[in-house]
Every structure is written in C-alpha cells, then in structure tokens.
Structure 1
C-alpha cells in the first residue's frame, strides 16, 4: 500500500471517504494503512477471513450466452453444497449508517510536495462534501447522479464556470463527483493546485454556486443534453459490456438494494421527465435540500508540507522499533526461518490441475474469421465501410496523416497538445462553451489524439498523424459531421483564458498519470532510444511530454502557443491526407454515405502528402552503449522497466516472443517480483513494433528487479522451469486478448488503424497456436542475450545503489528530461 500513498490525489480521495463517514466501516483504509498493516497478526487476519469470507455473504454474477443452468449447477456443486448456509454472516457484515451531523465540520491535513507541480506555492486542495441519500433509494440516487453531472461535467457546468475559471487552481480536486458505491451516497466538489491562503475563497465560491443554482436552476438544454447522453449510452455497446454491467449494479447490490432496479434506467428517466414537467422547481428544491440545508457537510483541506516526509519517516521508524526492539534472538531467528519456509512454499509449483481450464487445441478455433468490410472512395478519399448491428448508432473514425518528417522540430512537443486541444476549443460561430453544449446534445463526444502506426513488417518504418473518433444516433449524423467540419475549417484560438486553463488541466492530469502509471512512462522511456518510432512516442506520451506540459503551464505564453497551434492546423487539416471508416446499420449505410460526401466536400484542400504516400521516417541516432536512466521522484516505491529491440508483428518470431512474454509473466517475473519482491505488479509484453518490455509496478526494489529481468534467459534454460501445461496457460492468456469480442462499433479498427488484414491476423493466430517449447527457448536465446540492444528506465525515489559508478544516469531535475 506504500505505492498508493505516493499519489497525493489517492491519499486525498481516501481521506475524504474516511472523513465524511467517520463512524462507519469506511473509517478504515480498505487496502490497509502502511502504518497499521505491520500490527496485524496472523490470527487476526484468519479471524477476519472466516468471519466475512463465506458463501452466505457472496453474490454471484454471470454474463454471456452460455446456458445459465450449467453455471448454477456448478456454483451449487462446487461451493454452496459444501458449506451450510449461515445468515449471521450477512448480518454482521452489514454496513451501518453514518449518523448525520448537526453542524458542518472542517479538517485540515498534510501531504508530500510534488516536484512536478507547475506552481510550487500552489499545492493545496480543498473540497466541500455532503452526505446524501441511501444507495438503495434507487430513484433518488439516480436524480442526485444527474444533479452531480449537471453541476460539474462540461465547460458549461456551474462549478466549471465558478471554480475552474476562477484562476485560483489547476483542476477539480480528486473525487469531485457523486459517490455512489458507499452505503450512503455523497457528493464532493473542490479545487486542487490552489494557494493555501485561498482555501476560504474556494469555499465561498462553492457555497455561492449552490445558492445560484438553487435560485436559477439548470438550463433546459443542459438537462436535455445529459438525457441524450444517457439514451446514447444505452444503445452504445462498449468493450467489456458484462464488466461494465457488474460495476453498475455492485454498489447497490452489495448493500442489499435491488440490482435489477438499477438497470431500469428508462423507467427512471420517464419518472424524472414527468416530475420535472409537473414541478419546474424540482431540481432547485433538490439542490436546496441536499446542499444548502444539509448540515452534514465537511470542508476538507490538504496542503503540501516540507515536514510531511520527515514526519512520516519518523512514524515508520517508530513502528519498526516497536516491532523489532523487544524481539529476542530466538524470536528473530524464528521469523527468519518462517521467511525461508514461505519462500520455499512459493517456489514449489502448486498443482493447478484441479482447476477448470480451457483446452488450447480443442477450445480455440483455427478457422479464419472475416470482418464485414467494404472499401470505396468519396471525393477521392479512401473510405472503409462496415455494415454492423449497431443499434441505430453510427461510428466514425478518421485518420489524417502527417509524416514526422513534415513536422517542424520546434512544433513536435506541441503536436500531442494540439491533437488533444482541438475538440475543446470553439469552432465556426460557436465559442468553446457553445461547442461543448452542441457536442453533448448531438454526440457521445468528439475525440482527437495523436496516432502512431508501426509498420508490421519493417522496424524502421512508421506512420504518424491525428486520429478523430465520434459516435452518434443516426438522426444526429449530419449534426455530428457539421461539428467536425467546423473544427477542421474554422477552429478558434481566440479564447485566451480558456486555452490557458486547459493547459493547466492537462499538466495536472499528466502529473496524476505519472503517479498512477509510472511503469508505462518507464517503458516508453526505455524504448525511446531503441528505434525511431520510440523517440516520437516519448515526445507525444512519455516523460518528456509531461515535463513539457509543466513548463508550458508555468510559462503561460498564450500568444506563442496560439501561433504554434495555428501553424499545426494548417499542416494537418487537408483532406488529401485523410481516410475514414464508418460503422453503421446496413439499412442506413447509403443515407450515411450521402452525409459523409457532403462533409468531405466541405473540407479544406492542400498539398501535404497523401494517405498512401507516407513521408520519410526520421532516423534518430541509436546509442551503442546500453543505457540506464533513473528519474528521481518523491514516490514511496519504484516503476522499473527494461526494453529490448526484437522484430515486428509480421515476423515469424513475433508470435513466439509474445507467448514467451506471457510465459515469463505468469511463471517467472510475477512470482519473483510481486510474490517474493513485494511489488504491486510485474510482467513482460511485446508491442506491434517489436519492443519487448519488462516492467514492475509500485516496486520496493530496483536492483533485485533488474537482476530478475536480466536472468530471464537463465530461467528459461532451466529444464524444470516450465512445461507444456505452462505453455498452454501462456497461450490462453494471450488469446484472452487476441480473441476478445469486438463490438459492432469497433469492427474493422484493426485493419483501419494498424494495417492488419484478416489474412495477416489469421496467420498470426496460427503462429501463436503453433508455438512449441523449443520455439520459446530458441527466441529466448536469440533475443534475450546481453548483446541485443536494450535499455533500462526507473521512475522512483532517490536510491544510492543507482549511481553513475554503477552505470546509471541519475536525473533529479525533471526539467533536464527535455
């Protein structure tokens, strides 16, 4: 749990939860507080387990098209029939209600300073939190969730207007939302990146905003837009639908509410519309009841302090002394021997044959699956068409190619920023607020991002550009395309304050992403000098990008930023470099194509390289010396990565390397680094471009982890390290991703974005299925040797073992990353 406590936003989020519900089970850290975990005895842990972890206290969820009877029979035979029903278990685990306070409270706490904060003197967060209704009151929770979204979501939301535009902070505070997983729901709203002296100002703004909303209500067009988004979400089929379904009901279900009632969304919408039509003050009255007249509210403040780490370390040392000072030599020896016993237990391969398992040869098909695709041209623009049962939703993707060689060097750091910004600005006759409102009213959102496509046959070739994505109901297709047309023809850069605020929010989000997923940044950095596409990926989404955002927010030179964005827009928005993909109902394809033809005819023309004429890939100098970099950040744990250059997707060895990576993950890396080393997670993977990466996540070790990475070949050479069952398990884990269901709206994206045809994909699947134990050993010898180009990167706290004398380049000043 020390890794979790490295992230101030997570610390803040968990502290708010405990502070709002202090007399309930939520007062306890659900993952365990690092300062409390060492005090837990083995007997206490066993008692807790037997007290709560019983089938009488379980809920079973199945989703899919397999016969339900078989599931129920198996659950009964394997679980329920083996233990007596004990209703007491459910009663003792029931979460009790928090007694409402008679008056508001305020809590002030401290956190660690963040070296990536653009403004070091503005490292305070503050939120006002309100206890609301019970989660089993399904309709009231539904209404409050709508109010929560209306208050905070989008650039027209009251709190976006009053808090974000106040220029007091960087972004909403962590946990600004309607909380609907606790026994009693609550709402929190606040601001982070503020000066400690501005806390009272923030509170006053929040209270005034509630008063204003209670007096004026919400504009009808914003209510309509939110209801439209709910309607669209019911028709849109996301990946992992079953998991999304479980997450939607589990909060209510776990607290003995009606899970089916949660899914009756249309009933709730109709009731909501009826109450709103009968009582124009319906939402105003709710805001007044739950926020203005609600005495159970907490003002929570967390501010960075230079003393925090010193005080926390002192507590850790005191705890260590408490646990060790009074131990006798005999007791210490006993603990040591228990550690050896545990290690030996983990080392012994447990018999997994008793577990149900798919049969690789019998359950995974070798038949080729084809995608329903048609290819055409509209106004000389390549169009991929996929007729699909989309539930009356139209899905649109467009890729505009801009070769890296056509991108001026001084504009490269701005490229990912431009791609993310373009759907958040005004366009045509609409300012950014009007644009945001129209997007919500007509679509499921407009998304633009930088896209890098690796050549599947050549390590040195890749294609760069911007990817656009959106979906809408069929009746709104013309409106959606008009929005994209306005963006590509008449994007507006004239709202300076808004532009400045977005950059601050992006910088804040980047810092959050580093704390949450530092292993991804370490992998990108380690690969950045192995091949040219890796260098471009580092610029667009690596540590360099986060540091650049921080400096941009500090600089706040909007005029310079505007000029660069305008220049990039002129380079990008040219239809000769475009291709598009459409997924829609077969019966509406012809009508959809008419709208797309009108859309394409409106787009600007120009002379940039066409989609089938990729610009020259840039050859970055590849360093010959193996490189180790340590980026020092004040985290409690480390993110460690090692990247190796191998072969691209269409090479026969790529499939073998992918199976090898899965095998290493499940049988070696995870066991050594997570189970024995104490990291949160670890693994190995290979991307389409041929970069094989090891990683560890929230890892207390570095030197030992790197040693584990480097000894992979020796482990594979050990005759008893793995067997055919291990290989089959690795294949199953790979096919869990390879053969995952593709939703109607996503059919054809592999072909469109990655250039992988059904034929190439089928050939790759067969290669995966046919990998043998000898294949794994052969590719291990060929690509895991010390002579193969590889790099290391570590993101984590200061570590004396990672010194220049040991071959490490230590980067303490984040600005020097650029």
Structure 2
C-alpha cells in the first residue's frame, strides 16, 4: 500500500494488532479503487477480510463452513432456525422483524454445498450496527428451540384424521426437487463427489429431511457456528476499527479456539469414468419425448489454485461462452437438443472444481452421439489449435467483468465477496483472486510458450478419468409414486403411534399455533426512526451537450466503461406481430446480419463489448394514467477504448439484420422455448401474478402476452412442426418488426459515461441515426389491445409438487392521494399477516403483497406453497385484517421504513442514469417522486384505515385469481372449493 493512503483507516498496515485482531495482509486494489485488509483473531482464529473504499453502501457478512454428513438438510434448516430468536433478542422472528425496522439495501442468508452465509448491506451507519447486533447474536447465540425447528424444518401434524408432514424447508425443497435443473445439479454433485460432503443434498432431500432430530441440529450448530470456523467480511467507507471493536465485544470475547473439524478433503480421483442415470418428475399430461438431459462432467482443479481456476474460467468462455464458441456451436448445431444442459460450464465453488457440458430436451438414445460430439470437438481443438480470437475475446470478457461495478443481483460489496469466498473458505488466498492481474500476466507468459489452452483441454478433459456421463430422464409416474410412498409411510407411522405420541403431536401443533398467533413486544430490537430517513429522492440530470440529436447525455463516473441505451416505440405494430416481439428481441443480436453470420457477430460482441441486446418492455405512463406504453430497449456497454467498435456493431445490427439463416432461427426458437419452460417452476409466483392480472388493463394484457404463460403457449404453437416454409414465414415476420420499429422518428437514445467518452459518441450516434429509414410514425403510443372482459379464477397445471397462488385487484396509481397508504398497506400485510399465516403456519417458503404504483394494481402471492384453498382463504381474510386496524403507530412507522428502503436503494452511476432516462420516457418527474415520499413520511394510521376500507372490498367479482401447481393438487383444491372452483388449464 505504497501508492495511496486509505483515508477511512489511516496508518493501518500489515502486522498491526487491533484489539485481538492481527492484520496479516494489506494491499491496494487499484482496479476497484479500494484497500484490502486480511486479519485473524488471535483468541479464536476467526478469519476476517475488510475492503475499504468510498462506497456508502456498507456490507457485512459472517459465514461458516457447514459440512453436512447426510441429506437431512441440517445446514439449511439451521440457517432458518438461528433466525428465529436469540439470547439478546428472544423474539419469534428477529430477522423478519429487522426487515421492518431498517433501511437495509439487502438482507438474506444463503446455504451452499459446504458453507452458510449471513450478509446484509445498508447506507445508514446506525442501521449497520443495529443489524450487526442482531446478526451476531442470531448466528452465535441462537435459541434453536424445538418449536422453531418444527416450524422451519419438519413436523408431523394431523389434518383431521390424516397425518401429514409440514415445515418451511420441507416444502421449499419439495418445490426445488420438482425442477429438472435442481435435480440435475444435485445429482451431478452426488455422482462426481461420492466420497465427500458434496454427495449429500445440503438443501435437504424431502424423503430424508424428516429423519433429522432437534438434538442433531443443536450439535451441528455448536461445532459449525463457532468463531474458529467463521469468516467475517466488511466492505465500504466505515472505519475498520469500529467494526472490530463491536464484534470483539459482542461475540469473540466470549469464545476460546477449537478445532471445528470442517476441512473438506479432496475427492479421491478415479481410474475410469462412470455412467449415471437419474430421474426427474414429469406431469402425466406432458409429452416425455425428447425430455432427457445428457451431459458429461469432469472433476477439475483444486479451488485453492487461483491460476488454474482463472485458466479454467477462461476455458469455459472459450468453449461455451457465446454462439461462436466451438463446443457450444457443435452441440447446438447438432439439432439433438434445444439448449445446453443445466449446470453446463465451469463451477469454481467446491473444494474440487468441476466442468460440465451437454444438451437438454434430447432423446435418451442420443447419449452416445452427444458424448462423441464433445470428444471430437475437444480432440480437434487439441490437434488443430484454438483460434486466438476466441482466447482474446475470453480474456476481454473477464477483464470487463472485473472492471464493471454492478449491483445486480446483489450489492457490489456482496458480489465482490462471492468472487473470492470459495477459495477463502478452503484455505486459499482471497487477495490473489482479487489481484488477478498477476495470474493474468502468468497466463500470457504461458501462452507465449504455445498450446497453453490446448494442453489444459488434454489434461482436464481428454486424459481425465474422473468423469461422469450423466443422463437425466423424465418419469411421469415419479410424482405419484413418491406421493403414494409418502402416504404409505405416514400411514405406517400413524398406525404405530401410541396415544401418548399422538397427544404430543397435537400438543406441539397447538403450542406452535399459539406461538405463531401470539403478539409480542419487539421493542427489544433496535430500530431506525422516520427522522433517520433522508427526505429527498436521488435524481440524475442529463448533461448539456451541443447537439440536435434525439439523445440524453449523462456524465457519470463509470470507471472507464461506456453505456449505450436506445428505445423504439412499438405501439403501432400490427396485432399479428405483437406476440413475436419478445422472441425478436431474443434473436436479434444472435442471428447474424447481411455482413456477418451469427458466429462472427458473437465473436465481435465478445471481443469488443460487455454485452449488447434487446428487451421488450411494456409500462404505464405516469402523466396519463392508464395509457399503455410498449417499447423495445437496446442496451450495450463497452470499455472506453472499444467505443468506436461497439458503435460499428450497433449500426450493423440496426441496419443489417436479415434473419436469413433458417437453421439458426430454428435453433434460437427451440432455445427460447426451453428457457421459458425452465422458468415456470423456478418463478411460478411471477407467472401466477401475471395470469391473475392480465385482464385489468392493456398494459397487463400485453405483459402476459409477452412474458407470461401465454407467451410460452405462443412459442409452443410456433415451434411445433418447424419446416422451412414456416421458418421463412417467421423470418419475414422478424424482418417486418425490425423495419417497423428501427426508424429515425421512432428512436430515442441515452448515452452514459465519462466526459471524453460522451463527446466521442456524438459523431457515430449521428451516423447511426442518419443511416436509419426516415419512418412513417412515432410508435410511442398505446397499442390497439383490449383486455378480456372477465377476471380469471384459474388453475394452470405443470410438473410441480408445490403451488404458486396469486390474487389481484385494482386500486389507484401513484398520482392519487391514497397511493402512499397503499404502499404501506402492502408492507403491513406481508410482514404482519401473510408471513405469519402463509409461511409460519402454512409452511410455504413465502407469502407477499405487492402494490404497483405505476398502474395501481394490488397483488397477493405465495411461493412454493403446500396449500391452495387455504391460501386463497387467507387472501380473503386479509381484507378483514387490514380493515380491523390490528396494527399500531409503530407498525405503520416500520412499514414506511420498508417502503423508503425500496425508494432509496442505491444504484451504480450507470444504472442511476439509465433509470432517469426511463423515468423521463414514462413521464415520472422528480417532483412527483419527491411529493410521494413527502406524503409517505407524514402518513398516519388513520389514513391507512381509510384507504383499507376503500380498496379492500369483499366483492370477489372484482378480484382475479390464478394458481400454478400440479394437476392433482389443483383437482384436490377444487374439491374443497366446490362453491367457487378454479377453471383448469394446462401449461
């Protein structure tokens, strides 16, 4: 750290001892304008990494190596249970209570295959230490009481005379193991690592979860959640010494060092490959043809070898990273499947890393051919050499990813932790991973010697005997068979229960219900006050540029990266083409142009950009409430040095698209369909809400057409019997969409970057606009789309052991005086009613309420829910709860905090500018945002009550319902709701 001084921590250096912590490493991280400190706690040997910089979004995490010995889900259930009350905070649910009492930008907990992590981020110093206090006490001093274990893990209960299993994790994993991608990933781990912890399902196998005892959970915590097995991490602009003093006082001073015995040994290598077949559940009404996944997986390097991990990460990009990548191209061009198999790519997270590739939606008989394709590609690359352009593109992609500051999907401080935590937890060097330039220089030196990546392929793939050829097959009887086996098992358990045991089950159920329904004083928990909320909203104004171009220019500190965004109105597109817009966006940059085929375009994109592509958007205008605004957005980003090249590619795509490669078009259609199908069970709550909402407005109707179940049905219909005549017709439709929307009068632009990059962009942007057709009309207008006249009450069946239940009704949008109250009502409903009734009592993974300020729609939803009829009853009763006023001023304050946390969530400079551009497009002014927040901060309980009485009516004719679940669950639900059954459909 010889170059600059860390002004947050002046004078700190290697060898310093702060309290009982010793700094064992320090360094300047120039690429991300940060300083790195690695420490060890002398008393307990706890590990600590701190990254200091000027970011006000400070992050904390404590992680533990958690090494399960079976598939009971012990680590996963413990993650849930420690958050159910602790010594200092003995309330029922301090974690969810703190969500209400905080301005956090992120709070969560993760269970991986061999570690568990508890991270949070916030911009408020008081909030940081409030959350830190709760997190430390939860992790190190939890109560882990028996009733919490039963609620979060598993329990037996009687429903009438029938014995059933319940539990949040139990139902969560029933849902997870309904998903083919989850089954595949966990099955590969089991096959490839038979002799260590990765052979177990760390999340929990629903068939095994009920064998876990409360005592085993307590013992697991005692050893695995000890400071000697802990890894602390902090990030941001707060002083390190303050963090260390707090952690030392609250936690570490109360422990002595132990040997936690959590080291994961390397998997012994095999001397011959294995062949494995596993099964996943498929609904009886689905066609099992071409529903297999077939892949090859290899055990590769030690995670602690940062150079090998870097090299294999680059090799993944070379082989699979884009459409021009040789292994991806060969597999997709074979026509045997629709997409790469789930888990394809390099996985650097386990003690021994792994690499996998294959295809999904294939015939079982294609296995040998797929394996042959993989081997042939690898052998040819070794024999003939790898195109140096592929290597350069891969290195560029890694350089871009390391340089870009992004807060998606996690705050940047947490994303940074995810980069190095795997090697850190297993004894590797985190600093070496963050300072990857040293390994990159080493790589370039090795490449000068020749055949570096070819030798890597030979070593890790062709000569590697630790390989599994894996087949995942559909089984249409699997779900029913497993359900029947569970029923038989439960009946056997019930038959053997003594009267005393039955009495105990009923007694536990009653005690848990009393606990869940009891009101408690959570004032013991720390909280923020409304005075801690900044009254202003963050805004970004465009820079003044002397041009007549239809563009907004945003000068932002983007660390040497330039961002391009354009939008094209699509409201005047014909009704027949409108459903094809999402696929047009998906295929646009993947199909080639009149100048370059798709592989050449893919190579150019990878070499010169950080990504370029279209997306379909449908929104509701703010200044004219209710008017639908559909548009296509075109986004790209590049390092400043590649700005000219990126504009050349953008220009070529906008003026040279042709969709003439019909085999490629077919591949993209099938790939797009496979992607949509895999999302149904993963994001079932979103699809259910879309279905329920679709007839309330043109915006919601088009949203369902573009991104809901009806989009999947459209694509399924299109992809049946794809002959050349049909493909040519689709290609012409694609060309017609492009010609209609990409015109001079129909495009607006936003450019984001540092000043020199903005001035450099003026000439190429002017050239692009001049090259476009003049166009006939402005498409930024409402489309000719009419919502359906009836609100749905529907059930949609798919392969799922759990349900996703949604309900929607109209309220009012942001401009109305009741909008702040409705925002607060959504938070009160979720935290005080739905969380208790749907998650704690019902055992679903989650229940939530969402108020959309843009169009005024109010939605209720559940995720991985074991119930349908009961959940809909809970939704009906939510009206009574919110109108009853069973909440006080403190509850209202907490709900306001939650809404403000959403409003004030920080963005990177680039994202903040792009959001400002889109707000301007939609007519959402900064003045309107300020007014909304000001009204929110002065909101009173009486206003909540008034709004609740106005919008939460019991009239079901004004409410829409949609459920996604398995066919049998839907039929069973209708038996319980004979007075108002769901109309059933198949996805």
Whether TM exceeds 0.5 here: the answer is yes
Indicate the residue corresponding to 1:701 in structure 2.
Answer: 867
Indicate the residue corresponding to 1:39 in structure 2.
Answer: 211
Give how far 1:705 is off. 0.9
Indicate the RMSD between aligned Cα atoms, in angstroms. 1.9
* 1:776 paired to 2:949: no
Indicate the residue corresponding to 2:318 in structure 1.
Answer: 150
What does 1:192-231 align with in structure 2 at a 5 Å threshold?
A: 192-231=360-399
* 1:2 paired to 2:171: no
Q: Match for 2:701 among 511, 535, 558?
A: 535
Deviates more, 1:596-605 or 1:137-146: 596-605
Secondary structure of 2:416's counterpart equals helix
1:763-782 alpha-carbon deviations (Å, 9 max, x no partner): 22222222222222221111
How far apart, in 1, do the equivalents of 2:244 and 2:553 lie? 41
Contact 2:619 2:630 survives alignment (8 Å): yes
Indicate the residue corresponding to 1:319 in structure 2.
Answer: 489
What does 1:471-550 align with in structure 2 at a 5 Å threshold?
A: 471-550=637-716
1:485-527 alpha-carbon deviations (Å, 9 max, x no partner): 1111110211111110111111000011111001000001111
Give how far 1:204 is off. 1.5
1:565-606 alpha-carbon deviations (Å, 9 max, x no partner): 122122111120111111110243222223322222222221
Contact 1:116 1:550 survives alignment (8 Å): no
Contact 1:750 1:757 survives alignment (8 Å): no
How far apart, in 1, do the equivalents of 2:283 and 2:394 lie? 36
* 1:298 paired to 2:447: no
Secondary structure of 2:615's counterpart equals strand
TM-score w.r.t. the length of structure 1 is: 0.95
Give how far 1:25 is off. 0.8
Secondary structure of 2:427's counterpart equals coil
Deviates more, 1:648-657 or 1:95-104: 648-657
Q: Match for 1:76 among 248, 252, 255?
A: 248
What does 1:361-440 align with in structure 2 at a 5 Å threshold?
A: 361=531, 363-374=532-543, 381-403=549-571, 406-440=572-606
Secondary structure of 1:299's counterpart equals strand
Contact 1:453 1:753 survives alignment (8 Å): no
How far apart, in 2, do the equivalents of 1:283 and 1:272 lie? 10
Indicate the residue corresponding to 1:280 in structure 2.
Answer: 450
* 1:262 paired to 2:427: no
Deviates more, 1:794-803 or 1:177-186: 794-803
Indicate the residue corresponding to 2:620 in structure 1.
Answer: 454
Give how far 1:216 is off. 2.4
Contact 1:461 1:617 survives alignment (8 Å): no
Give how far 1:414 is off. 0.9
Q: Match for 1:249 among 414, 420, 440?
A: 420
Indicate the residue corresponding to 1:650 in structure 2.
Answer: 815
How far apart, in 2, do the equivalents of 1:267 and 1:651 lie? 57
What does 1:228-239 align with in structure 2 at a 5 Å threshold?
A: 228-239=396-407
What does 1:325-344 align with in structure 2 at a 5 Å threshold?
A: 325-344=495-514
Indicate the residue corresponding to 1:808 in structure 2.
Answer: 981
Indicate the residue corresponding to 2:333 in structure 1.
Answer: 165
Which runs of 5 or more residues in structure 2 are unaligned?
1-172
* 1:100 paired to 2:269: yes
Secondary structure of 1:699's counterpart equals coil
Secondary structure of 1:374's counterpart equals coil
* 1:566 paired to 2:738: no
Give how far 1:115 is off. 7.1
* 1:741 paired to 2:906: yes
How far apart, in 2, do the equivalents of 1:107 and 1:684 lie? 43
Give how far 1:322 is off. 4.4
Q: How many residues align?
A: 800
Deviates more, 1:128-137 or 1:227-236: 227-236
How far apart, in 2, do the equivalents of 1:604 and 1:204 lie? 48
Q: Structure 1 or 2: larger helix share?
A: 1
Contact 2:630 2:783 survives alignment (8 Å): no
Give how far 1:357 is off. 2.7
Which runs of 5 or more residues in structure 1 are unaligned?
none
TM-score w.r.t. the length of structure 2 is: 0.79
* 1:677 paired to 2:835: no
Give how far 1:155 is off. 0.7
Q: Match for 2:888 among 723, 726, 747?
A: 723
Secondary structure of 1:806's counterpart equals coil
Give how far 1:309 is off. 2.5
How far apart, in 2, do the equivalents of 1:227 and 1:271 lie? 13
Contact 1:455 1:648 survives alignment (8 Å): no
Deviates more, 1:133-142 or 1:585-594: 585-594
How far apart, in 1, do the equivalents of 2:231 and 2:201 lie? 23
Q: Residues 377 and 533 (structure 1 numbering): CA distance in 2 closer, same or farther, change over 3 Å?
A: farther
How far apart, in 2, do the equivalents of 1:368 and 1:327 lie? 61
How far apart, in 2, do the equivalents of 1:116 and 1:429 lie? 45
1:420-478 alpha-carbon deviations (Å, 9 max, x no partner): 21111112310111011111111111120111121124442121110111111222222
How far apart, in 2, do the equivalents of 1:476 and 1:147 lie? 23
How far apart, in 1, do the equivalents of 2:284 and 2:370 lie? 24
How far apart, in 2, do the equivalents of 1:206 and 1:610 lie? 46
Indicate the residue corresponding to 2:227 in structure 1.
Answer: 55
